[in-house]
Amino acid sequence: MKNKIRKICCIGAGYVGGPTMAVIADKCPEIDVVVVDINKNRIDLWNDPDYSKLPIYEPGLDEVIKRCRNNNLFFSTDIKDNIATADMIFISVNTPTKTKGIGAGEASNLKWVESSAREVANYARGHTIVVEKSTLPVKTAEVIKNILQASQSNKNTSDRNSFDVLSNPEFLAEGSAIRDLEYPDRVLIGGDNPAAIKALGSIYENWVQKDKILYTNLWSSELAKLTANAFLAQRISSINSISALCEATGANVREVARAIGTDHRIGSKFLDCGPGFGGSCFKKDILNLVYLSKYFKLPEVASFWESVVTLNNWHQNRVSRLIVEKLFGTLSGKRIAILGFSFKANTNDTRESAAIQICKNLIEEGAVLHIHDPKVESKQIEKDLNMEPISDEDTKNIYNSSSGIWKKVKHLEDVFNQVDAVLILTEWQDYSKIDWKLASEKMRSPAWVFDCRSVIEQKDVIDSGINFWQIGDGSKN
């Protein structure tokens, strides 16, 4: 095995592959890092001279790309050559929930991981360290090893290539990816060959303290990633469940969260009540854990974790039901401003965003939605809602229609025109600075603000003559 890693190739230029490799390139100038993808459009955007066109929005990412791109960081569709010349290959491809076949709705679809492993098997030369960066079910490293080994069995001994497989799950959160990568709580490396483990560990040692780099066996590393996400999501479902109880009893969920969070055994993080967790991973990874538990004949464990997702689905639907109730039982022809469509602030990612289900429910009830989001494109909303927007010219006629419709509003100040209610679904900073006096003049009375992210000062809203509802605050009900 080569002692020094000179070239890394990452398969998958997505929300993980892009930022992770950019930070490795930034911290390790002596290593060439090439991120490859089958999606040419995505690679073109990563190479676009206009940094505002990078395919993902992530604070601080453009600065890192500016420093490294075309120095020691490259984005390419040439998968074959870049695999052939790499000493280490990261697999960072998507692993969504299966929609068909055995395990549909729960197990992860490993199609893209398998095709990546086959590309490595076909093109790698000499000894290559293959690193699982994607989040994978326990024992996936076994599948990758089998594919790599089988690819060599028909070759003469002298022509054979060799491989090590390591697990190195990623713990970054979108919106804070660069900070999370530069100052990680820990880096986790699972594997069995000490030389390969050392080679990967020494890359991180360029900027991560040694005691933050944890070494485990392969299976603990794979399972730890799923478990971390399950624990985080479980905290959100726990606090969201309590929000409903607060509304029913007169308690306030933020006061409850503050009171329990000061107990250092519980801790204060991840106790923000919201419209329900979204993002591409929490639901998928818990469902994966549910599938694994069933597979290993542990039905009680499976149903324990499944309840975290069930609660989240219920919670998202309860928000839209409540709005219908407050607006006199019907939304037909009523206009509602939706503030925020991404699954959290500081990202353009909408995967599994609570906004999708909530907007669908409101449209189903006949509402006219004015959707604002500073980073999500209209095309993405159209895809997520599976419905075309109305154009500005159509607006007047269609406002009289009883079926639900939506349009994207570019400027925040225009979103309030003639709306009956404002619903805050993402905690974008600008939403906490709204001038409610001005907004109230544009809204239709009796107007409502529904704050699902606790970003609004209720006094400002109430003083402007608008009715106010904040998630988990039972003191006003």
Site of interaction with ligand NAD (CB under 6 A): 11-17, 36-39, 42, 79, 92-95, 112, 115-116, 119, 134-135, 170, 172, 174, 280-281
Among positions 126-155, residues that touch ligand UGA (CB under 6 A) are 135
DSSP conformation letters of 426-451: S--GGGGG--HHHHHHHSPSSPEEEE
Is there a catalytic annotation at residue 452?
no
317-351: burial string, b at 16+ Cβ within 10 Å, e else: ebbbebbbeebeeebebbbbbbbbbbbbbbbbbbb
How far apart are alpha carbons 288 and 271 in whole angstroms? 24
Q: Which does 94 bind (CB under 5 to 8 A by kind): ligand NAD, ligand UGA, none?
A: ligand NAD
In whole angstroms, how close is the CB of 425 to ligand UGA at the nearest point? 9
Say if residue 41 is exposed, middle or buried (CB neighbours under 10 Å; 0-12, 13-18, 19+).
Answer: exposed
Q: 169 with 225: CB under 8 angstroms?
A: yes
Q: Which does 450 bind (CB under 5 to 8 A by kind): ligand NAD, ligand UGA, none?
A: none
467 contacts: CB under 8 Å, gap ≥ 6: 326, 446, 447, 448, 449
In whole angstroms, how close is the CB of 29 to ligand NAD at the nearest point? 24
Q: Which does 232 bind (CB under 5 to 8 A by kind): ligand NAD, ligand UGA, none?
A: ligand UGA
Q: 413 with 430: CB under 8 angstroms?
A: no
In whole angstroms, how close is the CB of 178 to ligand UGA at the nearest point? 13
340/404 with CB nearer ligand UGA: 340
Q: 170 with 57: CB under 8 angstroms?
A: no
Among positions 154-183, residues that touch ligand UGA (CB under 6 A) are 170-174
Displacement of CA 33 from its chain's centroid (Å): 24
255/413 with CB nearer ligand UGA: 255
Per the structure block, which two tokens stand in for 432? 């906490």
How far apart are alpha carbons 6 and 26 in whole angstroms? 14
Q: Which does 343 bind (CB under 5 to 8 A by kind): ligand UGA, ligand NAD, none?
A: ligand UGA
Q: Which does 115 bind (CB under 5 to 8 A by kind): ligand NAD, ligand UGA, none?
A: ligand NAD
Strands, sheet with 213-216, edge to edge from the N-terminal-most edge strand: 73-76, 32-36, 7-11, 88-91, 127-132, 162-167, 187-190, 213-216
72/280 with CB nearer ligand UGA: 280
Q: Which does 260 bind (CB under 5 to 8 A by kind): ligand NAD, ligand UGA, none?
A: none
148/439 with CB nearer ligand NAD: 148
For residue 34, the 8-state DSSP code is E
Q: Which does 229 bind (CB under 5 to 8 A by kind): ligand UGA, ligand NAD, none?
A: ligand UGA
- From 246, 281, 359, 452, the catalytic residue: 281
Q: Which does 277 bind (CB under 5 to 8 A by kind): ligand NAD, ligand UGA, none?
A: ligand UGA
281/443 with CB nearer ligand UGA: 281
In whole angstroms, how close is the CB of 63 to ligand UGA at the nearest point? 20
Q: 136 with 95: CB under 8 angstroms?
A: yes
Per the structure block, which two tokens stand in for 402? 């009883």
Q: Which of 130, 213, 281, 381 binds ligand UGA (CB under 6 A)?
A: 281
In whole angstroms, how close is the CB of 78 to ligand NAD at the nearest point? 11
Among positions 211-230, residues that touch ligand UGA (CB under 6 A) are 229
Among positions 253-272, residues that touch ligand UGA (CB under 6 A) are 270-272
Q: Which of 98, 344, 370, 375 binds ligand UGA (CB under 6 A)?
A: 344
Say if residue 145 is exposed, middle or buried (CB neighbours under 10 Å; 0-12, 13-18, 19+).
Answer: middle
How far apart are alpha carbons 142 and 218 in whole angstroms? 9
In whole angstroms, how close is the CB of 306 to ligand UGA at the nearest point? 18
Per the structure block, which two tokens stand in for 354? 């609570």
**284 part of the interface to ligand UGA, by CB under 6 A:** no
**Phi first, then psi: what are they for 386, rounded to 5°?**
55, 45
In whole angstroms, how close is the CB of 260 to ligand NAD at the nearest point? 27
54/271 with CB nearer ligand UGA: 271
199/281 with CB nearer ligand NAD: 281
Per the structure block, which two tokens stand in for 143? 């599948």
Q: Which does 253 bind (CB under 5 to 8 A by kind): ligand UGA, ligand NAD, none?
A: none
Give the number of C-alpha atoms closer than 13 A to the C-alpha of residue 50, restricted to the C-beta side: 2
Per the structure block, which two tokens stand in for 179? 């900070």
In whole angstroms, how close is the CB of 442 to ligand NAD at the nearest point? 36
| Strand (E) or helix (H) holding 423 | strand 421-424
Q: Which of 13, 43, 110, 232 binds ligand UGA (CB under 6 A)?
A: 232
120 contacts: CB under 8 Å, gap ≥ 6: 11, 83, 89, 91, 128, 130, 148, 163
Q: Which of 305, 343, 431, 450 binds ligand UGA (CB under 6 A)?
A: 343
Per the structure block, which two tokens stand in for 51? 């940094």
In whole angstroms, how close is the CB of 116 to ligand NAD at the nearest point? 5
Residues serving a catalytic function are 281
The binding site for ligand UGA (CB under 6 A) comprises: 135, 170-174, 229, 232, 236, 270-272, 274, 277-279, 281-282, 343-344
